[in-house]
Structure 1
Amino acid sequence: MFDRDKWQEIFSTISKNKTRTLLTGFSVATGIFMLIFLLGAGRGLRNGMTNVFAQDATNSMQIYGGRTTMAYKGTPEGKRIQMVNDDYLNLKKSIEKIDAISAMSYIPGAEIISYKNNFGNFNVSPVHDTYKKIKNFEILQGRFLNEKDIQEHRKVVAIQDAVKEVLFPKEEAINKFININNIKFKVVGVFNQPSFDESSRDIYIPITVAQKIFNNNDHLQRISFTLNDVSLEESLDIRQFITYQLAAKHEFSPEDKNALWIQNNIENSQTFTSIFSAIEMFVWIIGIFTILLGVIGVFNIMMIVVKERTKEIGIRKAIGASPRSVVGMILMEAIFITAASGYFGLIAGVGLLEIINKFDLIYKIYPPAAIYFLNPQVDLGIAMGATLVLIVTGTLAGFFPARKAASIKPIEALRDE
């Protein structure tokens, strides 16, 4: 039941010690503010990194050739490992749990891309039609490469939306022909894909066409594939299998870590999840300790309040006030100071995150970092958790001073100087 007199008494006590109360409340508000902001910032960093890594399927692996750093069977160190079509075909046959596999080739020399009077520098990547299953593409118009394009050596391309804006600023791109090193390719699709940087502008062509007309033989730059229902341990076994298989064919030591670079996104995604879980835990620890510093301040101020009001409390008890009512009065004051201060800290933290979101401040301050920091926010569960922390800490801050107040004997209180 609402006790008006008790609340008037609490506000009267606070008003007599405004500076002390404001400083104590500020420390509590700062603790909650730091907790909310750091948790929101951590979520923004997680969202950004998730978006960056989303360009590759989380169940995918990529293989790149490197250079040996160990002599092996009479071959000196420094040998370049050049993957070829046979490597792609052998892996496709030998790995049972492969879902989709695609190789990527390259075009030797400079790439000159144009349409009428529009020119641009773009990344031209020869791939198989299955590459779409490995990369996270969103087809905006038309289609991606298909199996017939590969088998029939069709001169077709799928272009990124950023490429379309340069080459086709005022017209549709589908079924138009662009020039790649003076060879015409028909545009069959426009897509969008997540990327590490905003300057990424990709064009994909059939790998069979590139190897046939751009004179790069059967050399491959990368082999990518996705796996079906594979655990982390199985993915590590597959990585080892690939290493030994390619080592036997290209004659390098399986122990040479630089001969091949195998990117295991199954392992990376689990590592990524573990790292950000640890970061969130660390943020909670920092935030709670910051709140505790504020709670210590509330504890101290309530101890001072009890000391200053010793005579008053003694008189109350002498005229019949129960220990419970004394405890309730002190607890209510402590909880009110903590809750009110924490509420302002909560609102300030959420408000700052909303401002960062609304006005895209990270991009304006430091554009390269914007891709790694996306939609910082605090969900309802975290806000409720912060509220629970406030209630518990406010109660703890007032409990011991309240117990001390309840134990005051009226006669000793009246003698207190």
Structure 2
Amino acid sequence: MRDIFVEIWSTVRRNKLRTALTGFAVAWGIFMLIFLLGAGNGLINAMMLQSDRFLDNSMMVGGSYTSKPYDGLKEGRRIELNDKDMAVTGNSFPANVQETGASFDQNDLTFSHGDNYVSSSLSGVYPNEIEINKKEMLYGRFINDIDIEQKRKVIVLNEDDAKELLPQGTERIVGQYVDVDSLAFRVVGVYKADRSGMNSSAYTAFTTFRAIYNKGDKVETILFSFKGLDTQEANDAFEAQYRARINGNHRAAPDDERSVWIWNRFTQNLQMNTGMNIIRTALWVVGLFTLLSGIVGVSNIMLITVKERTREFGIRKAIGAKPRSILRLIIVESVVITTFFGYIGMVLGVAANEYMDSTIGRMKVDSGLFEATMFYNPTVGIDVCVAATVVMIVAGTLAGLIPARKAARIRPIEALMAE
């Protein structure tokens, strides 16, 4: 076996250009496959990171304007949700709707604590807000049922606002009072701010908010989690039925899809998953074609190799070399070259992905109002890298097998007469 490797090395040194072209075709095919998959995973992981900020099986519902005349009323009427809509949501769909809540927002408020102040917004919410919009508590607690029942003047601050109001020892703000314009609220918790634009408000009990701002029985948005809706068709049917019930409360056409808006996180994720699958498929197709080009390159160069060495093989057979020795020589040469350069391509592909990860893999777009991750963890599993390399090695072996068999069968006299 040592003699074979020595001979292969000698052949490589005599044919540097041919070997370099073969190696480049192999390494480039594997490198591009790993690099493309890594870049695609970076985009997909960023999309998943954004979607993970919400509970998948949840919906938000808000009032809008009617688009159809109905029951003697013209189109363009403003629909405002109320407690009756909340009751319909919680009681009329027991098979699907789980926990129901609501929210109301008030913007451009001044929060102050001692000499420190910050401008922010206040939202009145139910306890299910922390689960549906996935908030992580750092200190204290979130709004609870007792706060709702007793209309307590309590508040949960986001981390950034808490640091502005009490820069040193933010956790000590829990239990202290914060003025919201002219009203004092007792701080019961601080949650982690993710700067997504969705988790930046301060929170108080929904009932407290409505009493302070004189909202009567009005509801700005209804939030609820659901179960048993596992397909696009099931969600579409539920939304149509639900919208008809809400429209009925406001004398709007049952099929008027603009009277209320529904943000269904589950169907949004289905659409996102479809888009991500398309991206994955496209990347795999491009990557595999790149890999195929490397295989074709190896095949062509192995054919040229055999053609150039036909006279050599004829001399070998004339002095007693057996066909299987010639076959083994070509196969081993193909395997060695493909393995070596395939490994180089794999290492370079992994290195390129690691470089992307360390540079743009944590890149965020900051508009000043919100921050979003656009590219996250652009890496590929080691199993994919190894599999791509193994495929190239096997393909290189097969590419060398066909001309090797032809060379092993050629008669010495024919080989010696070859040009």
TM-score normalised according to structure 1 size: 0.92
Matches within 5 A, 1:364-383: 371-383=373-385
- Range that drifts further, 59-68 or 366-375: 366-375
C-alpha separation between the residues in 2 aligned to 1:321 and 1:222? 85
- Report the CA distance between 1:365 and its aligned residue: 8.5
What are the Cα deviations for residues 290-335 of structure 1, in whole angstroms up to 9, with x where unaligned?
Answer: 0111221111111111111111111122233232222222222222
- Residue 262 of structure 1 deviates from its aligned partner by 1.3
User: Over aligned residues, Cα RMSD in angstroms?
Assistant: 2.2
Is 1:166 the counterpart of 2:168? The answer is no
**Which sections of structure 1, spanning at least 5 residues, go unmatched?**
none
Tell me what 1:222 maps to.
Answer: 221
- Structure-2 change in CA distance of 1:301 and 1:256 (3 Å): same
Cα displacement string for residues 55-75 of structure 1 (whole angstroms, at most 9, x for unaligned residues): 211111111222223333333
The offset of 1:155, in angstroms, is 0.7
Q: Deviations over 1:330-361 (max 9, x none)?
A: 2222222222222112111211222233x343
1: CA distance, partners of 2:331 / 2:68: 72
1:25 — aligned with what? 23
Deviation at residue 245 of structure 1 after TM alignment = 0.3
- Report the CA distance between 1:166 and its aligned residue: 2.0
Q: Which residue of 2 is the match for residue 73 of structure 1?
A: 71
Q: Count residues with an aligned counterpart.
A: 412
Partner of 1:98: 97
Assess, with a 3 A threshold, how the Cα gap between structure 1 residues 99 and 337 changes in structure 2: closer, same or farther: same
Runs of 4+ in structure 1 off by over 4 angstroms are: 362-370
Identity %: 37
Where 2:234 maps in the other structure, the secondary structure is helix
8 Å CA contact 2:25, 2:298 repeated in 1: no
Structure 2 Cα separation of the partners of residues 373 and 403 of structure 1: 49
Aligned mates of 2:323, 2:68 — CA distance in 1: 81
Partner of 1:246, secondary structure, is: helix
User: How far, CA to CA, are the matches of 2:365 and 2:150 in structure 1?
Assistant: 47
Q: Deviations over 1:244-290 (max 9, x none)?
A: 10111122223333222212222222332333233222212111110
What is the correspondence of 1:172-187 to structure 2 with a 5 Å cutoff? Answer: 172-187=172-187
**CA deviation after TM superposition for structure 1 residue 128, in Å:** 0.8
| Pair 253,22 (structure 1): closer, same or farther in 2 beyond 3 Å | farther
Within-5 A mapping of 1:106-185: 106-107=105-106, 110-171=108-169, 172-185=172-185
The worse-fitting range, judged by mean Cα deviation, of 139-148 and 169-178 is 169-178
1:413 is aligned to 415
Q: Which deviates further from its counterpart, 124-133 or 214-223?
A: 214-223
Aligned residues of 2:32 and 2:349 also touching (Cα < 8 A): yes
Give 1:277-296 correspondences, 5 Å limit: 277-296=277-296
Measure how far apart 1:367 and its partner are: 5.7
Offset from partner CA, 1:194-227 (integer Å, 9 cap, x none): 5535x95221111111111112333222111111
For the 8 Å contact 2:302–2:403, the answer to whether it is kept is yes
SS at match of 2:108: coil
Residue 4 (structure 2) aligned to one of 3, 6, 25: 6
1:149 positional shift: 0.5
CA distance in 2, matches of 1:220, 1:365: 34
5 Å-filtered alignment, 1:183-332, equals 183-192=183-192, 194=194, 196=196, 201-232=200-231, 233-332=233-332
Q: Tell me the distance in 1 between the aligned counterparts of 2:249 and 2:146.
A: 30
Q: Which moved more, 1:187-196 or 1:304-313?
A: 187-196
When residues 341 and 367 of structure 1 are mapped into structure 2, their CA distance, relative to the original with a 3 A threshold, is farther
Structure 2: gaps (5+ residues): none
Measure the CA separation in 2 of the matches of 1:133 and 1:8: 67
C-alpha contact 1:65 1:81 (8 A) present in aligned 2? yes
Query: CA separation in 2, counterparts of 1:274 and 1:241?
Result: 25
